[in-house]
Amino acid sequence: MNPEYGVKKESFLSRAMAAGAALMLLVLPTWAADSAERETVWLSSLDLGKMTAGWGEPQIDRSVQEKPISIGGKRFDKGVGTHATSAMYIDLKRDAKRFSAFVGVDDEVNGNVGSVEFRVYGDHKLLWTSGLIKAGDRAREADVDLRGVKTLMLLVKSGGDGVSYDHANWADAKFEIVGDKPEAIDPPVEKAIILTPKPSPKPRINGAKVFGVRPGSPFLFTIPATGNRPMEFSAKRLPDGLRLDKRTGRITGSVAKRGKYVATLGAKNALGETERELRIVVGDKLALTPPMGWNSWYCFFTTVTDKMMRDAADAMVNTGMINHGYSYVNIDDGWMIKPDSNDPAIGGEPRDAAGKINSNRNFPDMKGLTDYIHSKGLKAGLYTSPGPLTCAGYTGTYQHEELDAQRFAEWGFDFLKYDWCSYGRIAKDNSLDERQKPYFVMKAALAKLDRDFIYNLCQYGMSNVWEWGAEVGGHCWRTTGDLGIATSLYDNVVRYGFFHDGKEKWAGPGHWNDPDYLLIGWIGWKGALRPTPLSPNEQYTHVSLWCLLAAPLIFSGDMTKLDEFTLSLLTNDEVIEIDQDPLGRQASRISQEDDRHVWAKDMEDGSKAVGLFNTGEIATTVTARWPDLGISGKQRVRDLWRQKDIGIFESSFSAEVPRHGAVLVRLFPVR
């Protein structure tokens, strides 16, 4: 971590010294080398347990699928077969003179679309790159002078189209050494550094500044405020029909009359008081800012129970997440009956005599559950599929749409995730009409209810759902496949995140692009919870990017295992403000040079939120230039993770961004 700001200026002296040192390195080792016998060490003789691979395991003198190495029709006896993204650190003991190899995609991918780039770094400097290599291309030759280099890093990255079929060979790869043999070492360990300052003990009102509700619908808004308790809340100019509980900060009731109301919320404790406006918009639009909350999928999968949901609600309050604007506690797949299951907990009659859907025995009292969640000032969500079955094979809603919507409302839910899944069997073809149809049906069913439902479409981006998600009534729609919990999660985070460039015009108040959940903290498959595979900097990238994208902020790790670092990532109010800004813009790409990406979005107050990302394997300087951002003149730059002003900048801002890391800033014009 620890990004450093500003470009370091090289003095003439330092450059001259560096040049001198380089000259010495060039001259001395050559002389030394010439006087000693050079020895060959094959890369495949090093400890390949230290080489990472995005799929499979690195192989000695074989491809990643354990076949003879073959690139562009040419066979190689020796080498290492791996898979992007793959990295290996090697301590050269300063005794290696040369590294050489033939690199390329293994022919075993057989006409598939693998594309990669091989890179060789020495002491954090790029020494050699293959450029883009595609499956079927002839092997490219690497011949790298290693004199003076202490630590080498061999990298295979995807060619920019994801890592599928990126079977990559370092064929014939060898070192020429004089002296000690190179040794594979562990990659540098990144510390989880908490940047988010602890919230002030004085009152501060956080979260959404604008809130939508339909006329007559039950209203629930808990004023999210940090600061010491006890705290007393106030609300001036609430529309008729709403009342505030001064002790809990919960505003409830319902508003009959359409319109825009501007209330002033207040929070007071022994140390001070604060006020903030809340715009309450009574009309047809909901989710005027991206929904924030938690979903059970990535930590409990179908083992989810009523108790786990209640525990999650408790944790949302006890950890203070509620004070930063988190409000939804959502059950994913697995609460219904699984037809044909012999397990008494989940088997049984899918529906009652009237056709109403049953929950399974892990959810004995759905109304009791939502009452419990509401009693905490939170809201409740659930999941179903327009098909006969959900993705996990539980009862879906097909041909019971109205009945199910009514049932969800009776139970007291506030959020519905509607997951395509087995509807694929019902749809006649892949036409837009067929893709939209089930979502229109549920839109109509939800419209008839006297409760507000956030309607979350889930169909993985088919037929460019972002272009029509709002038309079928969606408040947010998954734009991509599942992020997944594989070790290659980082690749998905940046690939799915950056996929949103160009889709910014489809996001806005009431309709958001949804790149899936925040996969930090403890996540896992079928009860086997483990810490996220994302490194600390990758986690900063994940949250920074999701906030810039104005994505729903739905955490999906175990709420009862929230450590301080994870909590610090979820509860930075200045970072959340980027996500929750009432203008509702989604960021887009401003520039990209190699691994350096700059993304930015406009904020309602005229400032800009800017993310500097480094997707590369070593720290690098990333620069945001004013002309690229469409601004000019002096800007006050504020570091949002540290919540600190960095200084006034004239025409650009540069920061040292660590490997796979992010720096998130806000630019305020200086007038």
Q: Could you list the active site residues?
A: 419, 482
| Shortest CB 408 distance to ligand GLA, Å | 16
Q: Interface with ligand GLA includes 573 (CB under 6 A)?
A: no
Report the distance separating Cα 509 and Cα 10, nearest Å: 46
| Min separation Cβ 459 and ligand GLA, Å | 9
Q: How far is the CB of 340 from ligand GLA (least distance, A)?
A: 17
Q: Is residue 482 near ligand GLA by the rule CB under 6 A? A: yes
Query: Which region holds residue 559: left if phi is over 0, alpha if psi is between -120 and 50, else beta?
Result: alpha
Is the Cβ of residue 392 or residue 534 nearer to ligand GLA in the bound state?
392
CB of 312 to ligand GLA, least distance (A): 16
Of 107, 166, 332, 504, which one interacts with ligand GLA (CB under 6 A)?
Answer: 332
What residues pair up with 313 in beta bridges, in sequence order?
none
Kind of pairing, strands 250-253 and 86-91?
Answer: unpaired
Contact flag: residue 504 with ligand GLA (CB under 6 A)? no
* Minimum CB distance to ligand GLA, residue 556 (Å): 9
Q: Which is nearer to ligand GLA, 297 or 423 (CB)?
A: 297
Amino acid present at 298: Y
Contact flag: residue 297 with ligand GLA (CB under 6 A): yes
| Residue closest to ligand GLA when measured from CB atoms | 391
**177/391 with CB nearer ligand GLA:** 391
| Nearest distance from C-beta of residue 274 to ligand GLA, angstroms | 38
- Rounded Cα distance between 556 and 563, Å, is 14
Distance CA 17, CA 466 (A): 55
Subset of 578-607 contacting ligand GLA (CB under 6 A): none
419 binds ligand GLA (CB under 6 A): yes
Q: How many residues bind ligand GLA (CB under 6 A)?
A: 10
Residue whose pair of structure tokens reads 């400890």 in the numeric block: 47
635 bridge partner residues: 649, 669
Identity of the residue, 89 or 418, whose beta carbon is nearer to ligand GLA in the bound complex: 418
Looking at 254-262, 385-393, 522-530, 613-621, which segment touches ligand GLA (CB under 6 A)?
Answer: 385-393
In the bound state with ligand GLA, the residue whose beta carbon lies nearer, of 330 and 537, is 330
DSSP sequence for 179-220 = SSPPEEEPPPPPP----SPPPPSS-EE-S-SEEEE-TTS-EE
Stretch that binds ligand GLA, among 128-136, 246-254, 390-398, 527-535 (CB under 6 A): 390-398
CB of 388 to ligand GLA, least distance (A): 14
Over the window 89 to 128, marking each residue x when it contacts ligand GLA by CB under 6 A and - when it does not, the resulting string is ----------------------------------------
Closer residue to ligand GLA in complex, CB, 5/460: 460
Structure tokens at 189: 């360990």
Report if residue 479 touches ligand GLA, rule: CB under 6 A: no
Q: Which is nearer to ligand GLA, 372 or 383 (CB)?
A: 383
Q: What distance in Å separates the CA atoms of residue 598 and residue 619, rounded to the nearest whole number?
A: 15
Among 117, 166, 333, 581, binds ligand GLA (CB under 6 A): 333
Residue showing tokens 């309050």: 317
| Calpha distance 165→414 (Å, rounded) | 42
Q: How far apart are CA 354 and CA 466, in angstroms?
A: 36
Q: Letter for the amino acid at 645?
A: D
* 648: its two tokens: 């006034």
If one counts every other C-beta atom within 10 angstroms of the C-beta of residue 441, the result is 19
300 forms part of the interface with ligand GLA (CB under 6 A): no
Q: Are 636 and 591 in contact (CB under 8 A)?
A: no
Quote the CA–CA distance of 472 and 437 in Å, as a whole number. 8
Residue 467, CA atoms < 13 Å, CB-side half-sphere: 7
Q: Is 391 in the site for ligand GLA (CB under 6 A)?
A: yes
Sign of torsion over alpha carbons 331, 332, 337, 342: negative
Q: In the numeric block, which tokens belong to residue 70?
A: 């073959």
> Please, which residue, 341 or 652, has the CB nearer to ligand GLA?
341
Instruction: Note whether 626 and 543 are within 8 A (CB).
Output: no
Q: Is 514 in the site for ligand GLA (CB under 6 A)?
A: no
The reply to whether 390 sits near ligand GLA by the rule CB under 6 A is yes
Q: How far apart are the first and last CA of the chain?
A: 33
Judged by CB under 6 A, the chain residues 426 through 465 that form the site for ligand GLA are 458
Tell me how far, at minimum, the Cβ of 333 lies from ligand GLA, in Å: 3
Enumerate binding residues for ligand GLA (CB under 6 A). Answer: 297, 332-333, 383, 390-392, 419, 458, 482
